[in-house]
Amino acid sequence: MNEDFRDTASALVAIGRSFYERGWALGTSGNFSAVIGRDPLRLIITPSGVDKGELTVAQILEVGREGGETRGLKRKPSAEALLHIKVIERGAEAVFHTHSVWGTVLSNVHAPAGGIPIEGFEMLKGLEGVKSHEHREWLPIVENSQDMPALAESVSRALMKYPDSHGFLLKQHGLYTWGASLAQAKRHVEILEFLLEAVGRLHMIKPTV
């Protein structure tokens, strides 16, 4: 158990730092989690308010289903632990939430449509289960809120309405994506952030919004 915690936390820390380096988790933004037990549910998660460029294993918290902390008592789990749990309840083993400039910009530009269609890119094949670039990914945009239970509810509804989506954006806030492993969730972050940048730059060359 201890070893599980340490190994998974160590991988989570390395990934979190790499996102910070790319500018996707500046200013203590972003939070990252992974399941380390299912019965009862136990997950590890980054604490609230830490610098992701200096993230350490010692900072990683262990929490249960309600988001209450069971270990690593010195810090509060991220306020968004509830959203992570909503995603984990649908089967994900790891959940990553990043704040990138392009995600922020596009979640604003596409908010009236409720989501961003991403279609025709080979990169889409990096999303689990996608076999062809002809795939159309719908990235739902959920209205942001500081009322966490209400936001968790909105997220649940979006997840149910778009069960095939590999992530969602909170408006003017950031990206949530997940995977069946830490590596898969990391891949999904990189792919969706790449695609958001590509879509954003396409808007600038061929204005279509």
Q: Which residues bind a second copy (CB under 8 A)?
A: 18, 22-23, 26-29, 51, 53, 99, 101-102, 104-105, 108-109, 120-123, 126, 131-134, 144, 146, 170, 172-174, 183, 186-188, 190-191, 193-194, 197-198, 200-207, 209
In this complex, which beta carbon is closest to a second copy, that of residue 39 or of residue 122? 122
Q: Say which residue the tokens 């201890």 belong to.
A: 2
In this complex, which beta carbon is closest to a second copy, that of residue 40 or of residue 112? 112
Relative to beta strand 61-63, strand 41-45 is antiparallel
Query: Shortest Cβ distance from residue 45 to a second copy (Å)?
Result: 18
Cβ-based neighbours of 172, under 8 Å, separated by 6 or more: 104, 107, 108, 144
Q: Are 71 and 9 in contact, with CB atoms under 8 Å apart?
A: no
Query: Shortest Cβ distance from residue 157 to a second copy (Å)?
Result: 19
In this complex, which beta carbon is closest to a second copy, that of residue 75 or of residue 187? 187
Query: What single string gives the DSSP state of each residue in 130-194?
Result: ---TT-EEEEEEEPP-S-HHHHHHHHHHHHHH-TT-SEEEETTTEEEEEESSHHHHHHHHHHHHH
Structure tokens at 123: 């990169």
In this complex, which beta carbon is closest to a second copy, that of residue 5 or of residue 102? 102
Q: Is the dihedral of CA 203, 204, 208, 209 positive or negative?
A: positive
Query: Shortest Cβ distance from residue 26 to a second copy (Å)?
Result: 4
Query: Shortest Cβ distance from residue 58 to a second copy (Å)?
Result: 16
Query: Shortest Cβ distance from residue 37 to a second copy (Å)?
Result: 25
In this complex, which beta carbon is closest to a second copy, that of residue 87 or of residue 199? 199
